[in-house]
Structure 1
Amino acid sequence: MRPDTPRDPVTGPEAGPASPYPIRLSGPVIKGFGRGSKELGIPTANIPADELAKYPDLSVGVYYGVVALDPSRFASPEPILPAVLSIGYNPFYKNETKSIEIHLMPPLSAPSPTATADGPVTFHKMPDFYGTPLNLLLLGYIRPEFDYVSLEALVEDIRVDCEVARRSLQRPAYACYLAGKEDETCPEDVRGEIRWLTRFESMERLRQHLRRRRSSASSSTPLQSPPTLSASEKRRREAEACPPRRLYLTSDTPDFDPGILSRFRAEGFNVEYLPFPGSNHNDPDRDRKELEYLLHEREDDLEPGERYAVVAYNKPAHLLLESHHQPSTATNPFPRLCALVAYYPDGPSPSPSPSSSTTTPPTADTTTTTTTTSSTTTPTTYPPSVPLLPIQIHLARTNTNSSNNPTTDAIHIRKRHRCHIFYYPESTARFAEPTSPTYDRLSARLAWSRALEALKRGFGWPGTRWGVPDVEAVWEEYWRCLSGPASSSGGENAVDPGVRAREEEDERSRRAAEIVGLMVGSGMGVQLESLAMDSSQSGSGSQSYSGSGNGNGSGSIRSPGGGGISHVSETCTVEENPMVNCVPTCAGAHTPSTLTKFYTHQFLPLSPPNQNQTIRLLSRTTGPDRIVDELLLSFTHTHEIPWLLPHVPPTDRPVRVALVMAASFCAGKLARLNIYWDQASVLVQVGLRTVERLPVVGGEGVERVLS
């Protein structure tokens, strides 16, 4: 038991730490017993006790010292903080294994929260930093371990420990360890200890990288001409300029839908699935910290400047939203995270405290009163110029007027993130997983498109290189094949109608094969191309995509100027069938062979070949996997048009029709194309319908579009 004797106000010699101090200990912050913060109200950071083997004569007890946290993982108020810690077995709790439990105190310049015992005792609290590398210098010993008659007596003794450590570190010979290595007044041996204290592997990698860059820059003479690179070397460097896009998927199931994983890989992400079923202790806070630690481990593997994104489902989605909605700090818990997508977060929703500005993020099983998919964006106190972490939440059957609506409560406005919430009232939880019995294909497609845009923008799209072809470049190549001029015959064959018809048929077949080559294959996977264009061709024009014409989804990017191409292919099996659908007439096809026939015999040429036909682009909306074009098609009806006016003989009448073409893409391949127009207006213009007693118009509707 603790002896009933007065405590010394300070410990350690006035001249500074004496042998064996300072003692170096380091390690990542790990899970402890979960008692310090909950039972005692004293947050502690545990590190592995393995390094204690270097100091076999070190006594168990309470110590004081200084601590530094890896700044690439956690932004602390000061680079070096005072600390009081326990090394031993904690007799009050009868621990069987030795542990190192560190309590980080506020900077010495800040008021001490433990200065007085009057009223409830409070201790300094910081945000969770599980997984963060920590360096510790032991500077002195305070007391041995004791058992206590009550929890209150233990807490009071720890409060006194904090004050003893604080007063001991305020002495000049000890305060130098908190000053930093830049302080010239500190002795050289102290500055050497500080250099060790503030050196971390991730920061050291960054310093070495910067030193190499400075060295290479200084070794080159400004007047020296740059070395001439071979074409293959140029292409290799271009390929290396495309950084990896690391994407972690996590859910509460041991396995995850392989189709979703393959589709993310097909879009150019380096995908890893992290199963996180949680523990059986029914402690959401502990689960949250364990999930944070799991992601922090992945952050340790990143190179300097590299970032990652997370797509979370069900329980992990709820836990990660909780991590970002903690009100104690404005710092995001994952410094390298560039985007977070949460699908139907599933977790407890306690009633919000009237004094709190945050609540638990919404769950996925709230009843709905809405009938349409809706979205909202949370407010933020940051101006548009400040980069914010994009967070996207997809909710199923959620009441937009619920008290748990994150747009009004759950998003802490001091956080440097912007949250977008999308509601799918027609769907239930797990609607985006094809293997789930509640899979909703329509909601899943919409959510996929939204999630893909958030992820790609998080990695800098559209201003960065990507591992798959740009959808607009593919779409422009589609239009080149669709509306390009037909080849003309010369010589004697030009006057032979039979030869001319065969050549026109061959030309349509060739262009149809090119178009189908731009589309995904039917159950044959998507062939990805890691492309490196010849740098001499960069900036010479937009890239165009040329299909092989075999319908299997393979192809190559080519430069308009004929530059070289480097291919590094990877096949990802994505169950996506191509489809073209003319909505008013149901013309179209959905397999490579039928699509080839459709384009050869029905869709090409796009309108009758005459001098009066024009196709004009009116507007274009582009996304990461979707393009919507609004067009004006004008022609004279001199030939039958199977896709627009099937089985209608020529009328020689002028027609103007507004078309909307909605194209969706998968891994840089055209997957679905829906074409819409006002069929009643077309029928009126060719004389098959009249406007009398019918709510239809002719060309007047097009005039409104053009006005």
Structure 2
Amino acid sequence: MNMDTAKLIKAAVPEAEGRNARILSQNVSDHKDPNFLSQDFPRQPPRLYITAESDDFDAVTIAEWQAEGFDVQYLPMGNGGDEYLKKLKGLKGNETTTFETFGIVAYGDAAAMCLQHYHIMDNNPDFKIKLLIAYYPTAIPDPKGRFPNNISALVHLIGGEDVDVTVQSQMVGIQGKRRTSRRTIQPGMGTGGLLRLAYPSYTYQAQPGFAEHDLDEYDAISADLAWSRSLAAARRAFGLTVDLEYVWEQNVQGKFLSRSLDTTMSSYTTHKSPHVTYIPTLTGGIGADELEEFYSQYFGNPKSLKLTLVSRTIGADRIVDEIHVRFKHTQEMPWILPGVPATQKRVQILVVSIVTMRGGKLYHEHVYWDQASVLLQIGALDPNAIPESAKKLGIEKLPVVGSAAASRVLKGWDPEQEGEADNDLIPGWNDEGEGGDEAGNGLDGQSLNGKAAGQKSAEKSETDQGN
């Protein structure tokens, strides 16, 4: 279609006739940015290279990246050195796309070489590499030196391990002398602790190889944590969005509302063996067959069951729900009260559900709640009935609460009470004085009776000075 720009301007702005004019776009987009197209526009999957020392690699990891929508190719490191660097320089993105960008997920010595190579600006002249994820590299670049801003970098390190740290100029066109030193990676705060480096880095209490399913060093907890972080980094780098909430809502609808077994089972992954565990009772199922049996025969719920979503947190591959659940116990409910006949009691509790996804489907679900509160509400637990063994420990009443915990959270904070907590179970909290625990359980290591303890300390100090 031909467009007469002059006539268009004259019709829109008559007073502009005879004057120079130019058309400015209000939505300024860079066509070189792969995100300038709408999310619904047909795209080829982004290219992802996995690279390590061996000639082949963990098939499970490759399949998981493919299931998340990436075009995966494996690049063996070979003998390393200049030959490997030449391979890195020859990498290309998906040639069927307009934007030939790509990402790298590297392991061990290959990770060390990739980190060092792409830390230098000159080594990504065409801005083709957008993502670099390194698992347990044997060497890392300057902890104070950032990666070029066109590269999203993420490093998974082993706590307590020694690595080579190389410092070299990052300036364009300047290849300064390398200075290498040997340092120990601090363990951080438990598995998956965040390190304070210039580039995103986490440390794990595991062994090199913890993320490879076919190795003896594989560690499921560390691998899952690292996977979640890696997947989030990859999606950010390539501007990918995945609607995890839809398939989770489908699962909830099938289990609790429509009570449709087909709807429920269709939400689980077939890529891996799914499992569901209701933690307080250890009920649920492992694998599709067990889950189908469990939900078809052992997941009955009374019509009075009502769910209220209190909060929802969505990550790259996880959804965490905080749910208010209430019901009248008019029938057996094997998932929450297995082996307990109907008591006709009303129950309300808070349930936390942590769902993990793989390839856009449910992989596993862990469900938590306060079982002592449930037993208290149905009359199966008496907080005042203390066994002799507990009395010998000085326990006068079981520290459990009933429906109050769930009802207060559902109603929200009471401005007069400034929150849901009332500390009624803490001895001395509601006494008129400054009562507390003389054993000293506060954060300061002193008595919980803060003011009284401070006064005693001050009095003792004055006495010492007087002496």
Give SS of 2:382's match.
Answer: coil
Partner of 1:482 in structure 2?
255
Give SS of 2:280's match.
Answer: coil
**Out of 336, 345, 358, which is 1:644 matched to?**
336
Confirm whether residue 512 of structure 1 aligns to residue 261 of structure 2: yes
Would the aligned equivalents of 1:324 and 1:333 in 2 still touch at CA under 8 Å? Answer: no
Would the aligned equivalents of 1:388 and 1:418 in 2 still touch at CA under 8 Å? Answer: no
What is the distance in 1 between the residues matched to 2:286 and 2:70?
28
1:609 is matched by which residue type in structure 2? Answer: K
Partner of 1:581 in structure 2?
277
What is the distance in 2 between the residues matched to 1:483 and 1:411?
59
Change (3 A) 1:429 1:218: farther
Change (3 A) 1:435 1:381: closer
| Offset of residue 663 of structure 1 | 0.9
Change (3 A) 1:628 1:413: farther
Equivalences for residues 567-646 of structure 1 within 5 A: 576-605=272-301, 608-610=302-304, 613-646=305-338
| Offset of residue 324 of structure 1 | 3.2
Partner of 1:261 in structure 2?
62
Partner of 2:350 in structure 1?
658
Would the aligned equivalents of 2:156 and 2:202 in 1 still touch at CA under 8 Å? Answer: yes
Partner of 2:116 in structure 1?
322
What is the distance in 1 between the residues matched to 2:372 and 2:170?
51
Unaligned runs of 5+ in 2: 9-37, 173-196, 385-396, 414-467
Give SS of 1:244's match.
Answer: coil
Partner of 1:342 in structure 2?
134
What is the distance in 2 between the residues matched to 1:261 and 1:514?
29
What is the distance in 2 between the residues matched to 1:304 and 1:294?
22
Partner of 2:406 in structure 1?
702
Give SS of 1:631's match.
Answer: strand
Change (3 A) 1:520 1:241: same
Greater relative CO, 1 or 2 (CA 8 Å, sep 6+) = 1
TM-score scaled by length of structure 2: 0.66
Give SS of 1:299's match.
Answer: coil
Equivalences for residues 68-147 of structure 1 within 5 A: none
Give SS of 2:90's match.
Answer: helix
What is the distance in 1 between the residues matched to 2:3 and 2:320?
50
Give SS of 2:88's match.
Answer: helix
Confirm whether residue 313 of structure 1 aligns to residue 107 of structure 2: yes
| Offset of residue 662 of structure 1 | 0.9
Equivalences for residues 233-632 of structure 1 within 5 A: 241-279=42-80, 287=81, 290-299=83-92, 302=95, 303-326=97-120, 329=121, 332=124, 335-347=127-139, 359=142, 388-398=150-160, 419-425=199-205, 427-462=206-241, 470-485=243-258, 508=259, 511-521=260-270, 526=271, 576-605=272-301, 608-610=302-304, 613-632=305-324
| Offset of residue 398 of structure 1 | 3.4
What is the distance in 1 between the residues matched to 2:257 and 2:171?
54
Partner of 1:683 in structure 2?
375
Change (3 A) 1:343 1:238: closer
What is the distance in 1 between the residues matched to 2:403 and 2:238?
45
Partner of 1:556 in structure 2?
none
Give SS of 2:344's match.
Answer: coil
What is the distance in 1 between the residues matched to 2:85 and 2:164?
24
1:295 is matched by which residue type in structure 2? Answer: L
Cα deviations across residues 628-673 of structure 1 (Å, max 9, x unaligned)?
1110001122222111111222222221111111111111221111
Unaligned runs of 5+ in 1: 1-215, 223-236, 280-286, 350-357, 362-377, 486-507, 527-575
| Offset of residue 392 of structure 1 | 0.9
Aligned length: 344
Change (3 A) 1:418 1:602: farther
What is the distance in 1 between the residues matched to 2:125 and 2:285?
49
Larger Rg: 1
What is the distance in 2 between the residues matched to 1:690 and 1:584?
19
Cα deviations across residues 249-296 of structure 1 (Å, max 9, x unaligned)?
0001111111211221111111100001334xxxxxxx2x54443233
Would the aligned equivalents of 1:431 and 1:443 in 2 still touch at CA under 8 Å? Answer: yes
Would the aligned equivalents of 1:325 and 1:410 in 2 still touch at CA under 8 Å? Answer: no
Give SS of 1:657's match.
Answer: strand
What is the distance in 1 between the residues matched to 2:98 and 2:135?
29
Change (3 A) 1:263 1:333: same
Change (3 A) 1:334 1:291: farther
Change (3 A) 1:300 1:699: closer
2:233 is matched by which residue type in structure 1? Answer: A
Partner of 1:131 in structure 2?
none
